Amino acid sequence: MNTTESVSPLFPPLQPYRSGMLVVDDLHTLYWEECGNPVGVPVLFLHGGPGGGITPMHRQFFDPAYYRIVLFDQRGSGQSTPLGEVRDNTTPLLIADIEALRRMLDVKQWLVFGGSWGATLALAYGQAHPQSCLGFILRGIFLCTRAEIDWFLYGMRVTFPEAHDEFIAAIPAEERTDLLRAYERRLFGSDVELATQTARNWSRYEGSCLFLQPQPEIIDVFGDDTVALGIGRLEAHYFLHQGFMAEDQLIRDIERIRHLPAVIVQGRYDAVCPPISAYRLHQAWPQAKLHIIGDAGHAAMEPGTAAALVAATEQFRMQQFFN
């Protein structure tokens, strides 16, 4: 583990030894990469959003001498094309994409690591294909229920009223009782300039609420058009369809993965995905280990959360759950 003066809990930066583009249908092509040990234990990183995309820092949660680290940008995200595309973009299709990637890379089973929407997708994928999974590391739990979607749209104002006021500023008062539909009309209308600005407003709203301590530079990153188009369009799209899942499906189907080892890492002061969802998941799945980080919000890179995630990957390595 990294013990340099920066006291970062992450492993040192590393570069992919292989990457490529996977064509999954006539519309979507996915960027993927592999890092670490080519013959190591496979681990799959699932990014958040939907629409968030991967970054180089995401490679650093894993010991590169032990793990074969696989990362990819989901449909409409990051370096996958087309950016922000919502057609043929559903949770079942994302699950099918993961299986297509697994088969292409000739992986029999892998540890699945995901945060926020990445944790949602990890649970949905695991419940659809438990035979492909070695275990799970999950952060910032989002179960994609109606209550959680309403919290994002309205409830976060309790903690971040300034950010919420900016989020609704461009929406006329008479439309604010249904913010999701108001955003839908602007995000997916014919006015490209309005759609881009609306995506930027959505993305900056989320970026403003991620951290326990303010991080203005992160808000600027979320305001970048490339980031905003992925997050703003895809999050709204998935919220409009409740993640393409039945209400509380991920809790209902927990029996399908109960036998697999899992670690849940949750920020105590997570305003985007409040701890009640992680607690509910743990109540339904007490075999999973729950770690509440007392000085963290939602972001993976907050020191306590990052340290707990690295500790989880190390725990899986040292206890050799995979053998």
Residues comprising the chain, all counted: 323
Phi, psi dihedrals of residue 316, rounded to the nearest 5° = -60, -40
Unique residue bearing structure tokens 């108001």: 182
Give, for all 323 residues of the chain, the pLDDT tens digit: 544 345 689 999 999 999 999 999 999 999 999 999 999 999 999 999 999 999 999 999 999 999 999 999 999 999 999 999 999 999 999 999 999 999 999 999 999 999 999 999 999 999 999 999 999 999 999 999 999 999 999 999 999 999 999 999 999 999 999 999 999 999 999 999 999 999 999 999 999 999 998 888 888 889 888 899 999 999 999 999 999 999 999 999 999 999 999 999 999 999 999 999 999 999 999 999 999 999 999 999 999 999 999 999 999 999 866 54
pTM exceeding the 0.85 threshold for the entire prediction: yes
Structural domains of the chain in order of their starting residue, each with its CATH number = 18-145+245-319 (3.40.50.1820), 147-243 (no CATH)
Residues carrying an active site annotation: 116, 270, 298
In 197-209, which positions are buried (b, 16+ CB within 10 angstroms) versus exposed (e)? bbbbbbbbbbbbb
